[in-house]
Amino acid sequence: MAFFRQSSVQGKSFPLERTDAEWRSSLPPESYRVLRQHGTERPGSSTLNHEKRPGHFHCAGCGQALFDAATKYESGTGWPSFFAPLEGAVGTRVDRTLFMVRTEVHCANCGGHLGHVFPDGPAPTGLRYCMNGAAMAFESANKS
C-alpha cells in the first residue's frame, strides 16, 4: 500500500535550503515552530479550517503549491484535511515521536513539516492528510 511506502524525498537536502536564522527571520513564530521545529498547532485554531473557495494551499515557508482546494474535506479533527496532495508537492518520512509510529508529511521543496497522513480518509485515496494551517497559506483561484 502506497501509504506506508517512504517518499523518494529523504535525507536533509531539499531544493530550497536556508539557515535556521534565515527561517526564523522570514516566518511568523507559529509558522516557524510548526514548519522548522515539527510543532503542531492547537486543533480548531486555524482560519484555513473554514476555507472553502477554489484555489491552492501553499507552503507558508517557500510558497510551493501543496494541495488543490478541491481535495479538502471536513475530517472533524480540527485541522485542515485533504485526501491527496498535488503531484510531487510533498514527501513523507517515518515519525517515531510521541511513542508511536506515524507518517510525517513535509514540503518537497523546503522540507518544512506540514503534518501527518493517516489511512482513514475518504475515497478515492482513503488517505487523510492532516495538515497544520500555520504551515500553509491559501491562494484563491478567484483573485478579485
Please list the active-site residues.
Answer: 130
User: Which 3 state secondary structure label does DSSP give 131?
Assistant: strand
Extract the C-alpha cell encoding 105.
508529511
Name the amino acid, one letter, at 15: P
Distance CA 114, CA 130 (A): 8
Smallest CA-to-CA distance from 77 within 105, 46, 111 is with: 46
Greatest distance between any 2 Cα atoms in the chain:
47
Strand pairing report for 55-59 and 136-140: antiparallel
- For the chain, how are helix, strand and coil distributed in percent, rounded to 5? 20, 30, 50
